Amino acid sequence: MRKILLVEDEINVVSFIKKGLSEENFEVSVALDGLTGFRMALEGNFDLIILDIMLPDKNGIEVCRDLRSQSISAPILFLTALNTADNVAVGLNSGADDYLVKPFKFIELLARVNALLRRGAGQIFEAAKKPNIYQFSNLKVDDDAKTVERNGENISLTATEYRLLLALIRNKGKVLSRLDLLESAWDINFNLGTNVVDVYINYLRKKLDSNFEPKLIHTVIGMGYILKEA
Ligand code: CA
């Protein structure tokens, strides 16, 4: 029987994953914090590790990095609560093999688990090989290289500005509320007012729209923001 270690602090996610994987005949061990997970992974000889990123005591990225430095080569699947470019890039750089963004369907998790077990340990995250490029008008966002170009000109953004732009371009032509943007670009655990979104939209506009045509970032009064051509 294949042994899986699940390191996750949200009880409902734990029971959802554990139940599903047990029904698929995996033997699932659970750690509810990062430090316990790290210790169990060192000792347990697991075939695969499912690792949440936001964990008490030791975050998933640190756990992953330390396991790799201890030569633990079991495939690691990250769970991330937010679709933030940062988390994923840092996570994959720390030695994880794949990641899944919450919320996900069990069938998606199972597919990743089976693919990782088939590929075996230490493989490079496959999706990283296919280009992750978003293009709109003369704006180009390369989510692999984390670069932004407007009209062929490189635009340097901070991590928050970048995440904000990524949310906009992934949803181009769609109005996103300030709350949508807040959840996409900031850690939802931070208690920020939505006016921080307006501040960062202004930063983004200065860098992205003020010197270029057409203007792409538009305010929808009373609703939020949209990426579209005027
Ligand atoms: Ca968590």
165 vs 141: CA distance, rounded Å: 9
CATH fold of 131-227 reads Arc Repressor Mutant, subunit A (1.10.10)
Of 139, 141, 120, 143, the residue nearest 130 (C-alpha): 143
How wide is the angle at C-alpha 148 spanned by C-alphas 131 and 168, nearest 5°?
85
Dist. CA 123 → ligand 1 center (Å): 25
Dist. CA 38 → ligand 1 center (Å): 15
Dist. CA 223 → ligand 1 center (Å): 30
Dist. CA 180 → ligand 1 center (Å): 20
Kindly give, in sequence order, each residue whose CB lies less than 8 Å from that of residue 83, ignoring residues fewer than 6 positions away. Answer: 101, 184
Residue 29 reports pLDDT greater than 90: yes
Tell me the per-residue pLDDT of 116-150, one tens digit each, with 9 for 90 and over.
888 754 444 443 345 688 999 999 999 888 899 99
* Higher pLDDT among residues 217 and 187, named by residue: 217
Tell me the per-residue pLDDT of 211-221, one tens digit each, with 9 for 90 and over.
999 999 999 99
Residue 190 reports pLDDT greater than 60: no
pLDDT at 131: 64
**Residue 96 in 3-state DSSP?**
coil
Q: CA torsion angle for 78, 81, 87, 88 (degrees, to 10)?
A: 50
pTM of the prediction? 0.53
CATH fold of 3-127 reads Rossmann fold (3.40.50)
β-bridge partners, 80: 101
33 vs 45: CA distance, rounded Å: 18
Per the prediction, the chain carries an average pLDDT of 86
Domain positions in the chain are 3-127, 131-227
